[in-house]
Amino acid sequence: MRRVVITGLGVVSPLGCDLPTVWQKLQAGESGLGLITKFDATDFGSKIAGEVSDFDPSEAVDRKAQRRMDEFSLFAMVAAKSAVEDSGIDFSAEDSTRMGVIVSSGIGGLQTLEVQAKSIRERGPSRCSPFMIPQMIINMASGLIAIEYGCQGPNFAVVTACASASHGLGVSMHSIQRGEADVIISGGTEASVTSLGVGGFCAMRALSTRNDDPTAASRPFDVDRDGFVIADGAAILILEELEHAKARGAKIYCELAGFGMSCDAYHITAPSETGDGAARAIKMAMQTAGVTPEDISYINAHGTSTQLNDIMETQAIRGALGEAANSVMVSSTKSMTGHMLGAAGGFEAAAVALALRDQVVPPTINHHKPDPKCDLDYVPNEARQTEVNVCLSNSLGFGGHNACVAFKKV
C-alpha cells in the first residue's frame, strides 16, 4: 500500500500564527487564553476564549478578496500558505489533477451568518450580501485553497463537529493510499468566537466560567475542571505519498500511518459513558497502522476539560490499550489553546508531528488536582524530552463521532 507522510505544516492559533513560535509555546506550557475582546461578553456566563491575535490575512489574500471571505476561510488560507511554503512544493510544476484539498470545519461562517441575519432583519432582504452563501458554507475553505494552488484532484470538506479535521486527515490518507492523489492539502479551520457561537455553548453549559482566571480555565483531567474554552484557529498539513516526497527531496515530519473512526450512536452531545465507541476508533487506528498498544509512545487526547469527556476518554484509552495504557504518555494541548472545534484535530496532528520530529511531548497545563477517575500519565505542567516513535491523536464530536489518527516516526 502507498505510504503517506507529512511534509508541511501551517497554523493560525491563539498561541500565534507561525510554527516555530507556536511550538515553542506548546513546549513551554504557555496559555493562549484570555477574556473575550471580539464582542461585548458582559452578559455571557463564559467570558473566556482562545482568540487569534496579530492576524494579518494580507500575506495570503488581497484586501478586496478579504471582504468576500468569512474569517474561517481567511484562517485556512493563511495556514495553507504557511504549510505550502514549509513543504517546499511547487504546485505549478505538479500534475494538478493529482493534487487535492480536504479542509474541514465544524461550523463554518458563523460571523457571516450573524452579520447578514442582522442586516436582513433591520434593513430588509435587499441588503443581504450576494456573497453571504459562498462566505459561510463550510466547503468554501477547500474551494478557495484549490483555486489558489490550482489543485484539481479530490476536493471536499468533512463536517463531524469537533472531529472534523481528524476525519478529513483520515479520508485524505485513504485517498492517497488508493492512488487517487499524490498530494492533499488537509486540516481544519474554525472561527466561532462570536456572540452566537459563545451564546450557544453557554446555553448548553459546556463552557468554563472561570472568568477570574482565564489562563487556568482549561484544565483537562483536573478534578476542578468546569468546561471547555472555545477557540478560533486553523491548522493545515501537506500530506504526500512517500515516494513522491522522496523524489522531490522533501523534508518529512512523520508518517500518517493509520486511521480509525466509529460512532457512539448514543446521544447528540454527551459521549457514551463506557467509552466503547472511542476505544473502537483507537483500536482501528492502531490496526491500520500495523502497531500494537505496546508500541504507542504518546496520545494527544481530545481532552476538552469537561466532566464527561475526560473520564470517558480515559476509559476509552484503557479499553483500547489495556495494560499498556499505564505506560503511555497522554496530554491535552487544549489546556493551552482552548478548543478550536472543527480545527482542533488539525492543530493537534501538527503538534504530534512536531513531537515526533523533536522527540518532545507537550504538557497538559493547569493539572494540579488529578481526578481519581482520570488515572493516566497526563504529562502534567511540563514538557517531556523522551523517545517518541508512535503516536495517536483522538478527536470526538457531538453526534457521537469518534476519530483517531496514528502517526509514526520515519
381 φψ region: left (φ > 0), alpha (ψ -120 to 50), beta (else): left
Q: Is 244 a catalytic residue?
A: no
**How far, in Å, CA of 344 to CA of 362, rounded?**
15
Q: Is 263 a catalytic residue?
A: no
Considering the candidates 339, 367, 391, 401, report the single residue annotated as catalytic.
339
**How far, in Å, CA of 263 to CA of 402, rounded?**
6
CA distances to 293, 325, 354 from 290, rounded to whole Å, are 10, 18, 22
Q: Are 90 and 52 in contact (CB under 8 A)?
A: no
The closest of 82, 89, 88, 84 to 21, measured between CA atoms, is 82
C-alpha cell at 400: 457521537
Considering the candidates 167, 244, 302, 367, report the single residue annotated as catalytic.
302
Considering the candidates 162, 254, 374, 391, report the single residue annotated as catalytic.
162
**How far, in Å, CA of 107 to CA of 164, rounded?**
10
Residue 252 makes CB contacts below 8 A (sequence gap 6+) with: 5, 6, 7, 242, 245, 410
**How far, in Å, CA of 286 to CA of 325, rounded?**
13
Q: Is 367 a catalytic residue?
A: no
Residue 68 makes CB contacts below 8 A (sequence gap 6+) with: 131, 134, 135
Q: Are 144 and 153 in contact (CB under 8 A)?
A: no
Query: Strand pairing partners for 258?
Result: 406
Point out the residues that are catalytic: 162, 302, 339
